[in-house]
Amino acid sequence: MEVIAFLICFPFAAALVLSMMKQHGKPRKYFIFASCIAIVAAVLYFSAGALISGKNTAYLTDARALDTGILVGEFAMMALVIYFGFKFKKHYVSLLSIAQTALIAWVDLSGPETEGSHIVADKLTVIMCLIIGVVGTLICVYAVGYMKDYHAHHTEFRDRRAFFFAMLFVFLGAMFGLVFSSSLTWIYFFWEITSLCSFLLIGYNRTEQAIRNSFQALWMNLLGGLGFAVAIAYCEKQLHVTELEKMVTAAVGKPEFLIPVVLLAFAGLTKSAQMPFSGWLLGAMVAPTPTSALLHSATMVKAGVYLLVRLAPALAGNMAGTMVTTVGGFTFFVTSLLAISQSDGKKVLAYSTISNLGLITACAGVGRHEAVWAGVLLMMFHAVSKSLMFLSVGAVENNTGSRNIEDMHGLVVRLPELAFVMIIGIAGMFLAPFGMLISKWAALKAFVDSKSALLVVFLVFGSASTLFYWTKWLGKLVAMIHNSERLPNTTKGSEWFSLVSQSFIMVALCISFPIVSSGLVEPFLSDMFHDKVPAVISSGNTHIMLMMLCMIMILPLAVRFLTFGKKKKVVMSYMGGVNSGDDRTFVNSFGQKEDMYLANWYMEDYFGEKKLLKPSLVLSSAAIVVLMIIVIGGAVS
């Protein structure tokens, strides 16, 4: 219990210290590094102990003093939201915050005290702790060097790094609290902290666009928070259940439990930026890159899919599950198409994140053990790969002044180290034998077994779109232009440490994929479904994966060996005219000199935001409203 308390409380304490360290210098840098080391050490110690014992543990059956403290904290957050709402004349966020806080206060202060476990640790907790503690702290380490360059390039923004680093650590503490909590009220408390942190970090620059986008994120997540609060009130007053796990277990096959299940699922959809709530995550791109990386990989959106995975058994075979699978599958498909039309690297990553979260959401909604297995593995691979990609794009932007994919042409020559890291990140998203592809195969099998033709269509065509936009980006990185000059690499040491570490984690996760499945994911599924879960990956598939991994490592070495010592032969490209000798200009049939530029096709006329975004938001909104009415109406009647 002591290490769990440390993981929850220490990041908040570190954030308090960082908020008071206004000077930009080595003391703050070393304090951040030391804090990250302490968190990683605690996470590894907790994970090792949990794996060795092999048991799920519950703590704090009586925590009345802490419950009172959490209620005070909820009022403090409400006061802060009201302050910002009146300051920027966004009164609707104040009303949403007042409504849900008043509801939670009424539940806590009325009626008899109910006892139950407030803290629970199981295999999914271990997985989430590793994601938060390792990936999250590596993002914090990266941010030390990145924010120095960021403010050097953006002198128009006020330097508020003390606040920025404090918020990063508050985010980590809130996520630890969320995944360890079993009490619905405690989960809600940490859930709302993450909403407030995202609001403050997105608005870091205090520009008009940043403020507008931060309030968009706040009201959408407060709307989900209101659904969460109503679910808590219904569970405690009507069903007399205060713990998430007990609620899920009792909800299987019982219609009266569908009301809190569908409300919690709605909260999960908003937090994980599923359509029509995807706008807040796209708007978060105005924030500095470490914010984007943290939101997309280790925190915030992972809280949404984490809750949906917890709800998975209660979603199987009912209309609440249908709502989740429909919205998740539709989001996966549409945002994959939208990503094709984007050339801004961060926006491609944003749509890719929403797309992959949609697939995880659909897996949770199916509620079958193969689908949940795929969803959990997708969470792990997506966290590492997407963090690596966001941080790489941030480093490229600091070096070149652009994050446009078209400006990354020939990056393998100009910035080879960063290009190599980005190639690993892209490979982790869609190439075999990396786990994203294998998890999609498991998801496809689960969708077929569930006899959902619509989900199969969404997955097949969405995956094809995913292949298209990742291949375009990868092609840009490795394209070679003659006479390309290598650029000076200004990436800081802390940034390199984070990038290289995550690259190794990506490869290590691929190698240890079967071990992670058998040692963590499958035992969690057995506990969740109260049944022995058969192995999803056969030994034959494991051998094929290892062979593919070996080939990935051997082929580059073999090519280098076969070409060693041979003279390089430069072959000019054909350009529809006489090549001028630099592969960049040619003389056309009229004797005129023309420039050549090789660009990707983004199909904006087919898949652009103007074509797809608004109709998709309308359709997804209608689906959620109609299906929630059906679920709640059926449960009430």
pLDDT band, residue 549 (cuts 50/70/90): low
Bigger pLDDT: 195 vs 58? 195
Identify the CA nearest to 308 among candidates 346, 355, 363, 256.
363
More confident residue, 63 or 203: 203
Domain ranges of the chain: 2-535+600-636, 538-566
CA distances from 225 to 100, 196, 220, 614, 626 (A): 7, 11, 9, 25, 20
Who's near 19: CB < 8 A, 6+ residues apart? 162, 163, 166
Average pLDDT of the chain to the nearest whole number: 87
pLDDT above 90: percentage of residues in the chain: 45
Lookup: tokens for 66? 């802490």
Residues 372, 362: Cα–Cα separation, whole Å: 9
Residue carrying the six token digits 């309308």: 618
Task: Kindly report the pTM of this predicted structure.
Answer: 0.92
Among 56-60, 104-108, 362-366, the least confident range? 56-60
Q: What is the mean pLDDT of residues 355-377?
A: 91
pLDDT one-digit tens code per residue, 501-522: 999 998 888 888 878 888 888 8
User: Comparing 46-50, 335-339, 503-507, 540-544, which segment has the lowest mean pLDDT?
Assistant: 540-544
Nearest-angstrom CA–CA distance, 431 and 534: 26
Angle at which helices 369-400 and 435-449 pack, to 10 degrees?
150
CB proximity list for 286: less than 8 A, separation 6 or greater: 202, 205, 207, 209, 210, 213
Return d(Cα 392, Cα 386) in angstroms, integer.
Answer: 10
Q: Using the predicted structure, report yes or no on whether residue 296 has a pLDDT greater than 90.
A: no
Q: Do the Cβ atoms of 268 and 305 come closer than 8 Å? A: yes
DSSP 242: -
For position 500, what pLDDT does the model report? 92
Q: Specify the pLDDT at position 562.
A: 66
C-alpha–C-alpha distance, residues 623 and 254, integer Å: 23
Tell me the pLDDT tens digit for each residue of 519-544: 888 888 988 888 777 766 666 666 66
Nearest 10 degrees: Cα torsion 586, 590, 591, 596: -20
Identify the band that residue 25 occupies on the pLDDT scale cut at 50, 70 and 90. Answer: confident
In b/e form, how buried is each residue of 421-436, taking b as 16+ CB within 10 angstroms? bbbbbbbbbbbbbbbb
**What average pLDDT score do residues 218-231 get?**
95
Cα end-to-end span (Å), the chain: 44
pLDDT above 70 covers a percentage of the chain that reads: 92
Q: How far apart are CA 394 and CA 397, in angstroms?
A: 5
pLDDT mean over 359-372: 90
Tally Cβ neighbours within 10 Å of residue 56.
16
Closest residue by Cα to residue 249 from 310, 301, 326, 168: 310
Q: Quick one: average pLDDT of 478-493?
A: 78
Nearest to 455 by CA among 339, 322, 614: 322
pLDDT above 80 (res 95): yes
pLDDT confidence of residue 190: 95
Residues 6+ apart with CB under 8 A from 366: 312, 315, 316, 321, 325, 372, 446, 447, 450, 452, 455
191 pLDDT above the threshold of 90: yes
**Mean pLDDT computed over 160-177:** 94
Please identify which residue in the block is written with the tokens 């491609």: 348
Region of residue 342 (left: phi > 0; alpha: psi -120 to 50; beta: else)? beta
Nearest residue to 287 via CA among 339, 212, 224, 233: 212
CA distance 396 to 490: 9
Within its chain, how far is the Cα of 395 from the centroid? 19
Residue 314 pLDDT grade (very low, low, confident, very high; cuts 50, 70, 90) = very high
Q: Which residues contact 34 (CB under 8 A, 6 or more apart)?
A: none
pLDDT in tens, 553-570: 676 677 667 666 666 666
Ranges 190-199, 263-272, 326-335, 551-560: which has the least confidence: 551-560
The answer to whether the CB of 429 falls within 8 A of the CB of 437 is no
Strand order in the sheet with 578-579: 578-579, 585-587, 593-595
DSSP 425-467: HHHHHHSTTSHHHHHHHHHHHHHHHTT-HHHHHHHHHHHHHHH
